[in-house]
């Protein structure tokens, strides 16, 4: 292990491959409490994409997803200084925090609804009929998705947005697997109904 | 119902692996109608999956996050240093307070060192003495300290008397140098006994160590409230009884037989007188600066023959001299006719109080004072013989 580490370093020094230190979650958490730059950067590099894609799936907006995902990591820094940060599953803590942040965002959106121009307005460049249909289809699904319960949204985001397994989704949502199976069935059935309702509007 | 959830999960896994809906449902024809719309919706849900964030966006947010971490780290260090600076400041203030307390405390003790009873700072002085005693664990040092404190009490009392301050409560210890029914003289201080004075059960005798608690009076005496007998051998201040010395001087004039310089012409057997007066004492008694009538007790020693022993009254007669041996240290076996060496002093009642008596030689002929053979062992036997002859001659005369 040590030899391979030295070899990797040699290769890195020779410019053959970039050095990729092994990620140690516990070490990263310890470093995070000390606000160590390397540890903070390592955690960000490992989880930002997942958090962003989860948020993006649920809110359907790049900018909002970027803001919320970034805010999740700032909250992680602050929580680690208050001894309220994650102790075991960093990913679980990040996804849970992201879910809460999204729910807060959606509640605010519900009180002050705004039209999402990016997906609702047709693009002048989308002159091709198929592309227009696809965009329209996406808009309908997105609109139907918004009408699901937060729990249904979350299970769809984790299972189909993130591609997590049933077991992983069960852990993150703190439910047993049978409950997740039933929840995902009801969520898909509800989304299907809502797509029909939105299509007929 | 659980069954359809299981089948849905299996179908979703197959679709995720690349199978299409028809192929998947072919395996479960009885659920095909129910699952088809669900599976088609799941594909739409999968299509909603967000793409990977752009590298630029990721890098920008990464930089922002690290900057934030650095700010928090800096704030934390400042907070820690502020904590230490506050702590250090508190420690410094505490230290200064302690130093101030210590300095003012020692200053107070120093200021109180010259106080006498009745002064405002006198309790500080006594408390400080108690504190010193409390932290002195060596028995010898403790005894010495107590002795110094007793000396201090006497000095304070003399100062009070000199200033004529009355009704000041005093507490001192010393040896009784004279006594009467209404008065004791303790370490040269006249102590008045009143009916209210609490006396010890045992009689207070001359030479006994006592503690006096009482009130000063304007006439230089102390009105005793309580007299306590102290254990024999207690280390007490040295006696400096002016009155005893005065009486001693008078006694010397009246009784030439114990005056080493004028023992001729005496009717009694004249013992050798050996005054152990210190040079300082001599200068005081003979010096022109010494006030008339003021002198100290002189320790006197002499040798003579033991003529009688009155055990009941503790009175021995040596060479015609009545001696009070109640508080004497007796070395040897006293027999009538023995040559003894006596050390003692005259008290104010003109009684010779023996401090130490040593039997130099035993008697070969008890009670025969004229027997020359008794003096064979004595270095001064010839002198004694001559003295005896002189005495006999005087008696005849």
Nearest-angstrom CA–CA distance, B210 and B175: 6
Give me the domain span that covers residue B72.
50-112
Partners of residue B68 in chain A, C-beta under 8 Å: 74, 77
What confidence tens digit (pLDDT) does each residue in B308-345 have?
A: 888 877 888 888 888 888 888 888 888 888 888 888 88
Distances (CA, A) of B327 to A145, B176, B222, B233, B394: 119, 12, 26, 11, 34
- Is residue B304 located within the same domain as residue B364? yes
Tokens (6 digits) for B236 = 């007490």
| HSE-CB of A132 using CA atoms within 13 angstroms | 9
Question: For residue A162, is pLDDT > 70?
Answer: yes
If you measure CA to CA, which chain A residue comes closest to B69? A35
- With respect to residue B216, please indicate whether it lies within any of the assigned structural domains: yes
**Residue A141 to residue B48, Cβ atoms within 8 A:** yes
Residue A89 pLDDT: 85
- Determine contact, residues B178/B187, Cβ cutoff 8 Å: no
Rounded Cα distance, A17 and A40, in Å:
23
Whether A22 and A91 share a structural domain: yes
Spell out which residues of chain B touch residue A198, defining contact as CB-CB under 8 Å: none
Q: What angle separates helix A62-81 from helix A25-33, to the nearest 10 degrees?
A: 70
Is the pLDDT at B270 greater than 80? The verdict is no
Contacts B40 to A, Cβ<8 Å? 192
A167 and A77 in one domain?
A: no
- What does the pLDDT average to over B287-295? 39
Task: Report pLDDT for B275.
Answer: 45
Cβ of B68 and A77 within 8 Å? yes
Residue B288 lies in a domain: yes
Euclidean distance between the first and the last CA atom of chain B, given in angstroms as a whole number: 157
User: What does DSSP say about strands B169-179 and B209-216: parallel, antiparallel, or unpaired?
Assistant: antiparallel
Find the helix or strand (DSSP H, E) in which B122 lies. Answer: helix B122-134
Looking at the domain assignment, is residue A121 inside a domain?
Answer: no
Residues A144 and A104 in one domain: no
The first and second tokens of residue B260, run together, are 């080493």
Query: Which CATH number does the domain housing residue A95 bear?
Result: 1.10.1740.10
Please indicate, yes or no, if residue B234 is contained in any of the structural domains: no
- Considering the domain architecture, whether residues B363 and B314 belong to the same structural domain is answered as yes
pLDDT score of A70: 94
Residue with tokens 């009490």: B153
**Between the CA of residue B236 and those of B145, B207, B240, B295, what are the distances in Å?**
11, 12, 12, 21
Predicted confidence band of residue A114 (pLDDT cuts 50, 70, 90):
low
pLDDT at A147: 92
For residues A14-25, one letter each, b for 16 or more C-beta atoms within 10 angstroms of the residue's C-beta and e for the rest, the string is: eeeeeeeeeeee
Chain B closest-CA separation from residue A33 CA (Å) = 10
Element (H, E) at B227: strand B222-229
The answer, yes or no, to whether residue A186 has pLDDT greater than 50, is yes
B164 and B57 in a single domain? The answer is no
Transcribe chain A into DSSP letters: -HHHHHHHHHHHHTTSS---PPP-HHHHHHHHHTT-HHHHHHHHHHHHHHHHHHHHHHH--HHHHHHHHHHHHHHHHHHHHTT-S-SS-HHHHHHHHHHHHHHHHHHHHHHS----HHHHSPPTT--SHHHHHHHHHHHHHHHHHHTS-HHHHHHHIIIIIS---HHHHHHHTT--HHHHHHHHHHHHHHHHHHHHHHHH-
Token couple for B384? 């004694």
* Contacts A195 to B, Cβ<8 Å: 41, 44
Q: Are residues A42 and A140 in the same domain?
A: no
pLDDT band at residue B178 using 50, 70 and 90 as cut-offs:
confident
* CA distances (Å), origin A44, targets A75, A172, B203: 12, 19, 100
Q: What is the mean pLDDT of residues A35-39?
A: 89
Of the listed ranges A135-139, B147-151, B200-204, B250-254, the one predicted with least confidence? B250-254
- A115 vs A44: which has the higher pLDDT: A44
Residue B235 maps to a domain:
no
Q: Rounded to whole angstroms, how far apart are CA atoms B372 and B45? A: 147
Q: Which residue of A has its CA nearest to B53?
A: A49
B39-54 average pLDDT score:
89
Q: How far is B61 from chain A (nearest CA, A)?
A: 6
Mean pLDDT of B18-28: 88
Q: Mean pLDDT across the stretch A24-52?
A: 89
User: If we measure between CA atoms, which residue out of B141, B121, B123, B140 comes closest to residue B132?
Assistant: B141
Whole-number pLDDT of residue B239: 57
Residues B381, B264, single domain; the answer is: yes
Instruction: From B323, B314, B318, B351, select the one nearest B336 (Cα to Cα).
Output: B318
Instruction: Give per-residue pLDDT as tens, B151-177.
Output: 888 888 888 888 888 888 888 888 888
Query: Taking CB atoms and an 8 Å limit, are A53 and B50 in contact across chains?
Result: yes
Q: Taking 70 as the threshold, does the pLDDT of residue B274 lie above it?
A: no
Opening angle at CA B140, ends B138 and B141, nearest 5: 65
Letter string b/e over residues A89-112, b meaning 16 or more CB atoms within 10 A of that residue's CB: ebbebbbbbbbebbeebeeeeeee
Burial B14-23 (b: 16+ CB within 10 A, else e): bbeeeeebee
Residue B322, phi then psi, degrees to nearest 5? -75, 130
| CA pair distance B357, B328, nearest whole angstrom | 7
pLDDT value, residue B322: 83
Chain B residues with CB within 8 Å of chain A CB: 1-2, 4-6, 8-9, 12, 16, 37-38, 40-42, 44-53, 57-58, 61-62, 64-66, 68-70, 72-73, 76
Quote the pLDDT of residue A153.
93
Same-domain pairing of A163 and A88? no
Q: Which helix (H) or strand (E) holds B214?
A: strand B209-216
**Does residue B44 sit in helix, strand or coil?**
helix
Instruction: Report the CATH number at residue A144.
Output: 1.10.10.10
Question: What is the average per-residue pLDDT within B82-93?
Answer: 78
pLDDT (tens digit per residue) in B192-242 = 988 888 888 888 888 888 899 999 887 888 999 999 888 877 777 765 555
What is the domain extent for residue A195? 126-201
Is A120 a member of any domain?
Answer: no
Residues A85 and A109 reside in one and the same domain: yes
Residue range B107-135: mean pLDDT, rounded:
86
Note whether residue B119 is domain-resident. no
| Residue A35 resides in a domain | yes
Q: What does the pLDDT read at residue B241? A: 52
**From A35, A40, A141, residue closest to B44, measured CB to CB:** A141
A84 plus A7 within the same structural domain: yes
User: Structure pTM?
Assistant: 0.46
Per-residue pLDDT at B366: 40
Is A53 part of the contact surface with chain B (CB cutoff 8 Å)?
A: yes
Q: Quick check: is B122 in a domain?
A: no
Domain count, chain A: 2
Residues A79 and A143 in one domain: no
Kindly state whether residue A119 falls inside one of the protein's structural domains.
Answer: no
* CA B342/CA B135 separation, integer angstroms: 42
Angle, CA of B81, B85 and B89, to the nearest 5°: 170
> How many structural domains comprise chain B?
4
Q: Do B72 and A65 touch (CB under 8 A)?
A: no
Rounded-to-10 torsion of CA A189, A191, A196, A200: 150
Question: Looking at residue B238, what is its pLDDT?
Answer: 60
Q: Minimal CA–CA distance to B113: which of B63, B72, B148?
A: B148
pLDDT higher than threshold 60 for residue A69: yes
B79 in helix, strand or coil?
helix
Does the pLDDT value for residue A1 go beyond 50?
A: no
CA B84 to chain centre: 44
In this structure, is residue A75 part of a structural domain?
yes
**Residues paired with B322 in a beta bridge:** B317
At B208 the pLDDT is: 83
pLDDT mean over A18-26:
68
Q: Cα–Cα distance between B276 and B353 in angstroms, integer?
A: 15
**CATH number of the domain within which B206 lies:** 2.40.50.320
Q: A105 in a domain, yes or no?
A: yes
């Amino acid at each position: 292990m040590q030899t391979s580490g030295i070899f990797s370093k040699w290769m890195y020094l020779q410019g053959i491959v970039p050095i990729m230190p092994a990620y140690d979650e516990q070490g990263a958490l310890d470093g995070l409490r000390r606000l160590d730059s390397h540890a903070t950067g390592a955690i960000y590099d490992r989880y930002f994409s997942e958090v962003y894609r989860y948020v993006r799936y649920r809110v359907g907006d790049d900018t909002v997803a970027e803001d919320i995902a970034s805010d999740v990591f700032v909250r992680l820094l602050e929580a680690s200084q208050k001894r309220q940060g994650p102790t075991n599953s960093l990913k679980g803590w990040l996804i849970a925090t992201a879910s809460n942040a999204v729910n807060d965002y959606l509640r605010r959106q519900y009180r002050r609804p705004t039209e999402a121009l990016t997906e609702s307005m047709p693009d002048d460049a989308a002159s091709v009929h198929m592309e227009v249909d696809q965009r329209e289809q996406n808009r309908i699904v997105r609109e139907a998705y918004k009408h699901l319960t937060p729990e249904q949204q979350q299970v769809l985001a984790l299972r189909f947005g993130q591609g997590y397994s049933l077991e992983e989704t069960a852990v993150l949502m703190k439910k047993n697997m049978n409950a997740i199976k039933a929840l995902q069935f009801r969520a898909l059935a509800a989304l299907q109904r809502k797509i029909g309702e939105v299509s007929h509007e | 119902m659980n069954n359809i959830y299981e089948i849905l999960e299996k179908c979703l896994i197959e679709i995720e692996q690349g199978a299409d809906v028809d192929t998947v449902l072919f395996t479960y024809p009885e659920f095909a109608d129910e699952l088809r719309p669900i599976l088609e919706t799941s594909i739409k849900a999968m299509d909603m999956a967000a793409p990977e964030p752009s590298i630029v966006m990721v890098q920008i947010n990464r930089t922002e996050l690290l900057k934030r971490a650095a700010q928090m780290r800096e704030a934390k260090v400042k907070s820690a240093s502020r904590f230490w600076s506050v702590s250090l400041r508190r420690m410094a203030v505490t230290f200064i307070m302690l130093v101030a307390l210590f300095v003012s405390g020692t200053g107070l003790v120093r200021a109180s060192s010259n106080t006498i009873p009745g002064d405002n700072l006198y309790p500080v002085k006594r408390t400080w003495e108690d504190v010193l005693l409390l932290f002195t664990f060596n028995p010898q040092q403790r005894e010495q300290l107590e002795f110094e404190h007793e000396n201090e009490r006497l000095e304070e009392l003399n100062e009070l008397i000199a200033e004529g301050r009355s009704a000041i409560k005093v507490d001192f210890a010393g040896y009784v140098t004279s006594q009467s029914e209404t008065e004791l003289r303790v370490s040269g201080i006249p102590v008045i006994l009143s009916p209210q004075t609490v006396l010890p059960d045992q009689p207070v005798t001359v030479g006994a160590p006592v503690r006096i608690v009482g009130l000063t009076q304007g006439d230089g005496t102390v009105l005793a409230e309580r007299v306590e007998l102290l254990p024999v051998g207690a280390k007490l201040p040295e006696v400096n009884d002016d009155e005893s010395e005065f009486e001693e001087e008078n006694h010397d004039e009246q009784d030439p037989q114990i005056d080493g310089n004028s023992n001729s012409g005496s009717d009694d057997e004249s013992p050798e007188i050996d005054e152990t007066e210190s040079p300082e004492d001599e200068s005081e008694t003979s010096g022109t600066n010494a006030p008339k009538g003021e002198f100290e007790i002189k320790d006197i020693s002499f040798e003579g023959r033991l003529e009688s022993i009155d055990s009941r009254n503790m009175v021995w007669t040596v060479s015609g001299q009545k001696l009070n041996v109640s508080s004497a240290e007796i070395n040897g076996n006293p027999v009538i006719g023995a040559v003894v060496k006596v050390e003692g002093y005259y008290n104010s009642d003109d009684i010779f109080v023996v401090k130490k008596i040593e039997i130099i030689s035993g008697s070969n002929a008890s009670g025969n004072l004229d027997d020359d053979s008794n003096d064979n062992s004595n270095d001064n036997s010839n002198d004694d013989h001559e003295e005896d002859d002189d005495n006999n001659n005087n008696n005849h005369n």
